[in-house]
């Protein structure tokens, strides 16, 4: 498989799964192993093409991001207050991720650890969806500092590749009283600052791995990730208002089982 085709495949996987509760990182690790695209350079490539998915959210929610710098009196989630809420959500995972970056890459980027995270996350989704929900927050403008920070603490679970940042933040929001649709919407928006910082930091630390010839491959991954994320986010926000997260949990369990049962034993 050529590098261009590999970049296209990985870009499609990244964009399609980044904001779904199925773990884009886990899928990228599994697909990367299947097509033979592994190693430090591959790991950094997977992180860098997240910028495409981030841009998709910026495009879809451009008004909300614009209101952060141009506050609207009728919208509490705007201006300095909106920025403060996003900071509170980003802080826990940002600190833990910065401190444990090398350990995570060394020990958690493998098929077995990803499959375990997929399965455990699926069981948590079933548990969260089975609870009697008492929604207290319905819109972004009802977000509170406590809710934002609590979601940020749950987001730390996503540092385990395969768990899913989207699943962690949506489940965290639901457990803390947010309506499922609000938890999903805030998950998209809150992903931007943390993912942007993580992507730039990873590119800074791994820039030496890439040559000028690699810019074309990164560009392909970026564009494909952006386009597929646009479709995925639009589709998911419609689905999450109509159905629960259980179908995604079943998919996660099926994928985890497939890894354990079908993955070449010498590569586990």
Confidence of residue 147 (pLDDT cuts 50, 70, 90): very high
Predicted pLDDT at 265: 62
Tokens found for residue 95: 């600190």
d(CA 15, CA 24): 8
State whether residue 210 is helix, strand or coil. Answer: coil
CA distance 172 to 21: 12
Structural domain containing residue 166: 3-267
Residue 264 has pLDDT above 90, yes or no: no
Query: Lowest mean pLDDT: which of 17-31, 198-212, 242-256?
Result: 198-212
Q: For residue 20, what are its two tokens?
A: 């779904």
| Main-chain phi, psi angles of 137, to 5 degrees | -125, 130
Angle between helices 3-17 and 50-60 in degrees, nearest 10: 40
What confidence score (pLDDT) does residue 210 get? 77
pLDDT class of 74 with cuts at 50, 70, 90: confident
At 78, the pLDDT band (50, 70, 90 cuts) reads: very high
Total structural domains within the chain? 1
Q: In this predicted structure, what is the pLDDT of residue 268?
A: 53
Q: Stretch 174-190: mean pLDDT, rounded?
A: 94
Q: Is the pTM of this model over 0.75?
A: yes
Cβ atoms of 46 and 32 within 8 Å: the answer is yes
Asked if residue 267 has pLDDT above 70, the reply is: no
Residues 170, 19: Cα–Cα separation, whole Å: 10
- Choose among 158, 159, 163: nearest CA to 117: 163
Alpha-carbon distance 1 to 8, whole Å?
A: 11
Cα dihedral: 135, 232, 65, 220 (round 10): 150
Q: Reply yes or no on whether the pLDDT at 21 is more than 60.
A: yes
Instruction: Note whether 248 and 22 are within 8 A (CB).
Output: yes
| CB atoms near residue 1 (< 10 Å) | 11
Q: Is 132 helix (H, G, I), strand (E, B) or coil?
A: coil
Higher pLDDT, 48 or 78: 78
pLDDT in tens, 82-126: 999 999 999 998 899 888 777 777 767 778 888 999 999 999 999
């Amino acid at each position: 498989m050529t590098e261009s085709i590999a970049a296209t495949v990985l870009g499609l996987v990244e964009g399609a799964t980044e904001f779904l509760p199925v773990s884009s990182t886990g899928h990228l690790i599994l697909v990367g192993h299947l097509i033979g695209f592994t190693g430090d350079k591959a790991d950094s490539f997977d992180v860098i093409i997240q910028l495409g998915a981030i841009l998709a959210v910026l495009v879809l929610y451009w008004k909300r991001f614009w209101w952060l710098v141009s506050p609207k009196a009728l919208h509490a989630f705007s201006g300095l207050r909106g920025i403060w809420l996003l900071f509170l959500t980003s802080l826990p995972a940002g600190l833990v991720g910065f401190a444990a970056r090398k350990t995570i890459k060394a020990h958690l980027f493998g098929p077995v650890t990803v499959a375990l995270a997929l399965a455990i996350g699926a069981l948590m989704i079933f548990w969260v969806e089975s609870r009697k929900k008492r929604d207290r927050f319905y819109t972004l403008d009802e977000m509170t500092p406590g809710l934002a920070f609590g979601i940020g603490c749950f987001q730390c679970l996503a540092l385990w590749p395969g768990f899913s940042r989207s699943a962690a933040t949506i489940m965290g929001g639901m457990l803390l009283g947010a309506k499922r649709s609000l938890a999903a919407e805030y998950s998209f928006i809150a992903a931007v600052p943390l993912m942007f910082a993580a992507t730039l930091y990873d590119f800074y630390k791994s820039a030496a791995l890439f040559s000028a010839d690699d810019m074309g491959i990164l560009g392909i991954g970026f564009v494909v990730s952006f386009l597929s994320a646009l479709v995925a986010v639009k589709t998911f926000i419609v689905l999450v208002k109509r159905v629960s997260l259980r179908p995604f949990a079943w998919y996660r369990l099926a994928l985890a089982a497939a890894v354990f049962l079908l993955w070449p034993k010498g590569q586990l």
